Structures are given as C-alpha cells and as structure tokens.
Amino acid sequence: MAKHSSGWVALHKRWLLALLLLLSVSTLIAFFIRSAFDSCDRHPEIVDKWVNSVSGSGSRASPLSFMKSKLVLLVSHELSLSGGPLLLMELAFLLRSVGAEVCWITIQKPPESDEVIYSLDHKMLDRGVQVFSAKGQQALDTALKADLVVLNTAVAGKWLDAVLKENVPRVLPKVLWWIHEMRGHYFKMDYVKHLPLVAGAMIDSHVTAEYWKSRTHERLRIKMPDTHVVHLGNSKELMEVAEDSVAKRVLREHVRESLGVRNEDLLFAIINSVSRGKGQDLFLRSFYESLQLIQEKKLKVPAMHAIIVGSDMTAQTKFESELRNFVMLKKIQDRVHFVNKTLTVAPYLAAIDVLVQNSQDI
C-alpha cells in the first residue's frame, strides 16, 4: 500500500472541514479557527481563506469556492425521495455551484425501471452531475482519482470492498462518511469495519454521535474517526416561502382546500418517509387519543386534522398498510390525510398549524 504524506492527508481533511462549514458554520466555527492556525506553517494561503470564510470579513463567495475544479464522488445507498439521498443531492448541487466536478453513484437500484429514480437521475444530469453505475471500472477509476469521496449512510460501507477491493486503503484517507442512522441493526462489521480509517464522519446530532461512539466501541470494538456534528439547515426554497406572506397564504389556502380542511381547523403534520422507526404510528395514535380526550371532556376546540407527508403505497409496505388500517379501524378517515413523497414540502409547511418532528435522539 502506498503511503500518503502527512501534508496530503491534512489537505483532504481541510476539504472535509470546508464541506462541513458550508452546512453549519455556527456549529464548527471554533474548530475551523483552531485547525487553520494549527496548519498555518504549511498552507498560509488556505488559512487566510478559512479565517475569512469563518469570520465573514471576506467577500460573499461561497466557503466552498476553493473546491472549484476538484473531483468529488458521492456514493448513495439508494436513490429515492427519502432524507438521505435528497440531502446528498443538495450537497451535489452546492458543489456544482462552485465549479466542482461531481459524480454520483447509487449502490442499490431496482432491476426494473423506476419513475422516481429516472426523474432524480435526470434532475442531477440537468445540473451537471455525472451519474453512472456503482459497479465496474468507471466507479473504481473515479474513486481513485477523486479529491473527496462522500459515503452516504452506514450501509454504503459495503460498497468499498465490493468495488474497490484491494484499492480500499488508497481511498479511505479521502472519505467523508455521512451517517444518518441510529437504529441498532446498522451496527454491523460488514457495514462499518473501515469506519476508523476514513478521514472523518459527519452526523446530524450530538446524541446520535455519542450513540455511535459508544455502540461501535461496546459492540464492535472499533473507534470512530474524527466526528463532526452538523445540524441540518433549511432549503433556500423554504426560506423564501417563509419570508413571503402572500405566498404562504396562497399555499395554505390551496393545500387546505385540496384536503377538505377549513381555514379555522387545526392541521397537524408529520413529514418523513413512511417507514418503521420514523414515528408515524406514534403520531396517529396520539392524534386519535387527542380526539378521544376532546370528546370525553367535551372540550370546545376547532376541528382537528392530521396529514402524513411521505406516503408511498406503490411500495406496498407492511408498515404503511398498518397505518391505513389503523385509520380505518378507528373511523377517522375524514380526519387523516396521506400525501405521497414529494420534493416540494413548502406548501404543506405553509398549510399546517403544528409540525410534529420525530426524533431518533429520544
């Protein structure tokens, strides 16, 4: 195995940190300042870029502007309208906006044609993201040439051995592993045996990061790499709608009318891909119990409705069938509304009164 110089590794780590900075400046501001001064003897020009981007004293250019012309490989376990792949797509577009060369591979693709995958593939192609097979020589060559490789979710780790084989050690020093999962069945050596050797890990919350640190140590006897907590932000589209009172009113009226919900009614929502562990079952049970309590106590409150955004009956999952059966059994079909997965959630956020956010940290 060829040895990488300390300067080469350090440079890749700074690229990883810049990526984290764009996603959450406030979370990592102290870390960046410290890293910049620690490495000032080797790359003073890069330190200046860090300090300017962190302090805001420089221009309005993106803190990722120095990724221009860099080659980035994004490895997704699947391509769907669920959180992990969509977050990775947003990252792809951010990198493309500063002139990076971005390649995307999807590990698990169904053998038959899929309308969602076709649509998302072409959305990326239209934005200049190169999309190709996760297997074969092109994937291997790109991984070896890339300046940065982002593995998305824990299960993406199996791709390393399956495709890179004996070249795995050459790629690990430039891997950023973006981990979203918290459920126990993801803590398998098949998935994460290379985790201690990557350049860094990125996790969405402090609790999840601590959970991964303890579980990998206790169950697998391995050590986490340098781990950075990066809280997820809001999309530009969402912020634009939030600041536009006219747009919010129009969207609210349109969505409520389509659902048969009056303006004075209370509308609760949970927005997640419908799957076990995301909390839709708890949401529905709590909603039903609230309706029962209102009736028993004879409370005078507006009519209440619940909306679940993230449905996918084409997949015919057992869990979603259970949710719909619960609604039928409790006879609350007129109060509960299922909406298919969508990239456009701003209209639903404008329409609702209460957003119930599931947390894996509890």
Q: Which of 327, 322, 331, 323 is nearest to 295 (CA)?
A: 331
Measured distance CA(71)–CA(54) in Å, rounded: 24
Amino acid letter, 259: L
Q: Which of 25-34, 293-302, 322-331 has the lowest mean pLDDT?
A: 25-34
- pLDDT at residue 353 is higher than 60: yes
178 φ, ψ (degrees, to nearest 5) = -95, 110
pLDDT digits (tens, 9 = 90+) for 50-87: 223 333 434 467 788 888 999 999 999 999 888 889 88
Measured distance CA(20)–CA(80) in Å, rounded: 24
Give the pair of three-digit tokens for residue 139. 């994937």
Bridge-based pairing of strands 71-76 and 148-152 is: parallel
The better pLDDT of the pair 277, 264 is held by: 264
DSSP sequence for 187-238: --HHHHTTGGGSSEEEES-HHHHHHHHHHIIIII-----SEEE------HHH
What CATH architecture applies to the domain 236-355? 3-Layer(aba) Sandwich (3.40)
Measured distance CA(254)–CA(99) in Å, rounded: 38
Measured distance CA(272)–CA(288) in Å, rounded: 19
Q: Which of 12, 85, 24 is nearest to 53 (CA)?
A: 24
**Where in the chain does DSSP place strands (E)?**
71-76, 101-106, 130-131, 148-152, 175-179, 200-203, 227-229, 266-271, 304-311, 336-340, 354-355
The better pLDDT of the pair 351, 6 is held by: 351
Tell me, yes or no, if the pTM score tops 0.75: no
What CATH architecture applies to the domain 6-229? 3-Layer(aba) Sandwich (3.40)
Measured distance CA(230)–CA(245) in Å, rounded: 30
> Domain residues of the chain, as ranges?
6-229, 236-355
The better pLDDT of the pair 4, 170 is held by: 170
Confidence at residue 7, expressed as pLDDT on a 0 to 100 scale: 54
pLDDT digits (tens, 9 = 90+) for 214-260: 988 888 899 999 999 988 766 677 777 777 888 889 999 999 999 99
- The residues, ordered by sequence, that sit 6+ positions from 152 with a Cβ below 8 Å of its Cβ are 74, 75, 76, 77, 84, 85, 87, 88, 178, 180
Q: Which of 66, 153, 145, 142 is nearest to 103 (CA)?
A: 142
Q: What is the mean pLDDT of residues 134-148?
A: 94
- pLDDT at residue 262 is higher than 90: yes
71 φ, ψ (degrees, to nearest 5) = -100, 125
Same fold, 6-229 and 236-355: yes
Measured distance CA(123)–CA(357) in Å, rounded: 28
Banded model confidence at residue 360, pLDDT cuts 50, 70, 90: low
- pLDDT at residue 278 is higher than 80: yes
Contact 356, 269 (CB under 8 A): yes
